Homo-oligomer: A and B are copies of this chain.
């Protein structure tokens, strides 16, 4: 059983990770590091800074804190020979440099999305792409999301377009010749792949990748129902990583 320290352990994501990771039964939560005291400890010691963490009790550090927090985690992991799993986004190039530097001393996983379902969706879409004439993406989110299309859907479109191109398939042409109302055919993205963004209260985060060929369709649907969806990908990263120096960028290569 690996012992984890969670940086940002009092935040919503930190608390969710502590709860979800300990429930898996193959990790103990040894330390929750945060400036604020966590609502729940999940058997961990609370530390207000890395100075208060006993390195001998920790195997791997998980960081879903802030760009500044990541710098502290990476520095501490490099100094103490601990693997590091980073889910924090929005790092500056200086901050990212600290992470890359740590990866020359210990193992580091950094990823924007730890949902296994999302990563598998993207992988399967790229594998299916060569075998179908056309593909479109529908992504559906709650109505508080302010951007469209989602970053995840654009990443999927890129993977599909690359796979189509590698298989010698040409750019898709929209069959529509007459618009009763303009705009119905969605965002025209790389390779002619259309993305449709639905925004409704009640929804969380959902995506359908729809392939069509003669007489058949193949649909890959991913539903994120709550932030627990990140737990399994973090667990997979924490299982994999240790003090051996290396940088894993995105969890695709772990699957």
Whether A128 pairs with B120 at a CB distance below 8 angstroms is: yes
Give the contacting residue for A197; candidates B23, B184, B197, B212; CB below 8 A.
B184
Whether B202 pairs with A216 at a CB distance below 8 angstroms is: yes
A168: shortest Cβ distance to chain B, in Å? 12
Q: Does A54 contact B (CB under 8 A)?
A: no
Q: Does A124 contact B (CB under 8 A)?
A: yes
Chain A residues 10 to 30 lying within 8 A of chain B, measured CB to CB, are 20, 23
Residues in B whose Cβ lies below 8 Å from that of A202: 212-217, 223, 225, 228-229
CA distance A200 to B217 in the complex (A): 8
Copies of this chain in the oligomer? 4
Given A181-B195, A196-B196, A199-B185, A175 contacting B218 (CB threshold 8 A)? no
A240: shortest Cβ distance to chain B, in Å? 13
A227: shortest Cβ distance to chain B, in Å? 6
A36: shortest Cβ distance to chain B, in Å? 17
Give the contacting residue for A149; candidates B180, B215, B219, B225; CB below 8 A.
B180
Whether B116 pairs with A184 at a CB distance below 8 angstroms is: no
A40: shortest Cβ distance to chain B, in Å? 14
Residues in B whose Cβ lies below 8 Å from that of A176: 145-148, 197, 199
Residues in B whose Cβ lies below 8 Å from that of A88: none
Q: Does A151 contact B (CB under 8 A)?
A: yes
Chain A residues 117 to 138 lying within 8 A of chain B, measured CB to CB, are 117-118, 120-121, 123-124, 127-128, 131-136, 138
Identify 17 new A-B residue pairs, CB closer than 8 A, beyond the known A23-B214, A203-B225: A116-B131, A116-B132, A117-B132, A117-B216, A120-B131, A124-B124, A136-B198, A144-B175, A194-B198, A196-B196, A201-B214, A202-B225, A203-B217, A214-B229, A214-B231, A216-B228, A218-B222
